[in-house]
A and B are shown apart, each in its own frame.
Chain A
Amino acid sequence: GAGVSQSPSNKVTEKGKDVELRCDPISGHTALYWYRQSLGQGLEFLIYFQGNSAPDKSGLPSDRFSAERTGGSVSTLTIQRTQQEDSAVYLCASSLVRGAMGNEQFFGPGTRLTVL
């Protein structure tokens, strides 16, 4: 079975442009997460989707960030009017939800975003 896939693997953009990052979770995983990892740092939670429930957007750093998940599968993270501080690796993860415990998240390879 395929793992979590993300595209593009690398994205270089100019300050002020909009970017879209895509995540394709593992088939059958109902939970999907976006994280951001700045250079040499730990992962910072951005947003969480679970089934048809309203997403947990508590980690989005500003209103320039948004995400959607269509049909309970593929997700797109959009960053509008990019700033240099948005440069980071954006990681997507998915998991099963069996009960409430031990649902390890499986991560994609990430998208490295560089804002010039």
Chain B
Amino acid sequence: AQKITQTQPGMFVQEKEAVTLDCTYDTSDPSYGLFWYKQPSSGEMIFLIYQGSYDQQNATEGRYSLNFQKARKSANLVISASQLGDSAMYFCAMRAYSSNTGKLIFGQGTTLQVKP
């Protein structure tokens, strides 16, 4: 069975500091992708970053980077230089490719609050 675990229900960070949001996953599929989405209070889901299981380097997108540790099955999101607009719920998700299904399995989410 595939599973995503986000152990931090809520996090606080001071503006301009970096923060790491934890994500661990479980799958027996050798080919998979890991995604992070942001959900502000308005409700829309915003794609942030993607990491493929065979990617050699950690993914980066602007202030977002993914700390991918395959042996530990973790895919933590690092947000550098936090901004007030980063306050939102963050979801880690996984897609297993060998099973040829497009569905994403989501974690329970982490609520991030950025303090001024």
Contacts and interface: CB of A to CB of B under 8 A. Distances in A.
Interface of A: 31, 33, 35, 41-45, 48, 50, 56, 58-59, 89, 91, 93, 95, 97, 100-107, 109-110
B106 interface: yes
Contact of B108 (A33, A41, A101): A41
A111 B45 CA distance: 13
Given A42-B107, A42-B109, A59-B103, A105 B97 contact: no
A104 B45 contact: no
Nearest to A46: B103
B45 A91 contact: yes
Contact of A102 (B45, B52, B103, B106): B52
B35 A42 contact: no
Contact of A101 (B45, B47, B97): B97
Interface residues of B, number: 24
A36 B11 CA distance: 24
A56 B102 contact: yes
B21 to A, nearest CB: 14
A56 B101 contact: yes
Contact of B33 (A43, A58, A101, A110): A101
A109 B43 contact: yes
B110 to A, nearest CB: 10
B52 A101 contact: yes
Nearest to A93: B45
A51 B50 CA distance: 23
A89 B43 contact: yes
Contact of B44 (A33, A43, A102, A109): A109
Residue among B33, B102, B105 with the most chain A CB within 10 A? B102
20 contacts: A33-B104, A41-B108, A42-B107, A42-B109, A43-B91, A43-B104, A44-B106, A45-B103, A45-B105, A48-B103, A56-B101, A93-B45, A100-B31, A101-B33, A101-B97, A102-B50, A104-B35, A104-B50, A107-B45, A109-B43
A102 B46 CA distance: 15
